[in-house]
Amino acid sequence: MKHLKEFFKKHNLSIMVIIALVFGLAGGLAGGILTGVYLADSLSGFSPFGSIDFSRGEYAGQGFIISNAKNVIVQQDAKVDETINAVSGSLVGIYKSQKTGKSSKTFSPVNFYKIGEPNGQGFILTSDGWIVTSLALARTYNDYVAIDRDKKIYKIDKAAVDSLTGLNFIHVQARDLPVRKFAESQSVKIGQIALAVNWPGLSRVTSIIGLNQPEVLLKSSDNFSGKLILNDKLSAEFKGAVIFNLSGEAVGLADDKGEIQPISRLSGAIKSLFKNQAVVRPVLGVNYINLDHLVPIDGQNQAWQKGAVLYGDQKGQAIVKNSPANKAGLLEGDVVLSVDDINLDKNNDLADVIQAHSAGEIIDLTIVRDGAEKEIKATLGAK
């Protein structure tokens, strides 16, 4: 006992330091646990003991979950590489058709298509051979071939041009081609990570910063307006490239001017290709103003807050004469609230909704006229 007292007396300071360290570590551990329990949800998925979950909020649908904050860059790079590898099979190179003489035992580059030197590139739309491209070859398609990632060469047997987007559609005799899902227009968000991928294998990580709308208030139901804007302007090598999100869904396609056409605008054209073997766009025949672009000055204009109001152009024409809208009984001043139960708003413009349909389809319009809602049916025309 005497020896024990002498030990504590001699080592008193050391023992106090050890005890302080033990209690300090215990307190830090308890604080970390409490932080993980009470603050994880409020800090957008942050947890010092768990994962950072970006599958909610603006990254919803991207499959982007980071298991360790220190590995943010590594995890994102892995996801980018995974997406690029997954989507590359849906691209084809388009080349001027070449012929060689008899086979030779001597190697010569002239007897080969050079993967890095295509005349254009295309994006596979359907498993049975429809492909979209920015390359203008509607009249000369017989002079070109398409080559897939397996180096299989396809002859082009059909071609059509879309008057609204300026894009070309070609067809090859094929089955079971790999296709990618289109991103829905509502899922395309500002700040969303995007990947530009081209046929030779180049890729660029960028982001979507907006939709470039022309400085016009009055629009037509039968024309598109606006292009996607990326954080980085794409270089010439990406002409015709496809823009994907991190889920591997197609978001846009770069045209010959380097502008990004939203890929969702092709859905109506694809329906037409199946039905008509050509691109036939639907016609409603109205001019309108999207009320989401206006703010009432005072209480007298509260009736016009949502939807698309049918309004006259420079010729005073809100309803095109003899158009489907005219035949259905639509009038200037009518406010179209919805088309086939799709509400018109900043994410669903009237022209985009109409052009997702096919010519000849019957659509249901909910309108407001003289303060009362009314249902009207219209049969879309063709152009």
Tens digit of each residue's pLDDT (9 = 90 or more) over 286-342: 999 999 988 888 777 777 889 999 999 888 899 999 999 999 999 999 999 999 999
Superfamily of domain 282-382: PDZ domain (2.30.42.10)
DSSP category for residue 200: T
Mean pLDDT of the chain: 83
The neighbour count for residue 301, using CB atoms within 10 Å, is 11
pTM of the predicted structure, to 2 decimals: 0.75
Beta bridge partners of 159: 170
CATH of domain 185-276: 2.40.10.10
Cβ-based neighbour number of residue 118 at 10 Å = 22
Q: Hey, which CATH number is domain 87-98+115-172, 3.10.105.10, 2.40.30.10, 2.40.10.10, 3.40.50.10860?
A: 2.40.10.10
Is 310 in contact with 282 (CB distance < 8 Å)?
no
pLDDT tens-digit map of 62-82: 555 555 555 555 567 788 899
pLDDT digits (tens, 9 = 90+) for 28-48: 555 554 444 444 444 444 444
Tokens 């889920």 belong to: 247
Could you report how far apart the first and last alpha carbons of the chain are, in Å? Answer: 105
In this structure, what DSSP letter does residue 291 have? G
pLDDT band (50, 70, 90) for residue 6: low
Instruction: Pick the more confident residue, 122 or 264.
Output: 122
Classified as helix, coil or strand, 205 is: strand
Distance CA 358, CA 153 (A): 32
Note the pLDDT of residue 79.
87
Cite the residue boundaries of each domain of the chain with CATH code 2.40.10.10: 87-98+115-172, 185-276
Q: Residue 212: count other Cβ atoms within 10 Å of its Cβ.
A: 12
For the chain, residues classed under CATH 2.30.42.10 are: 282-382
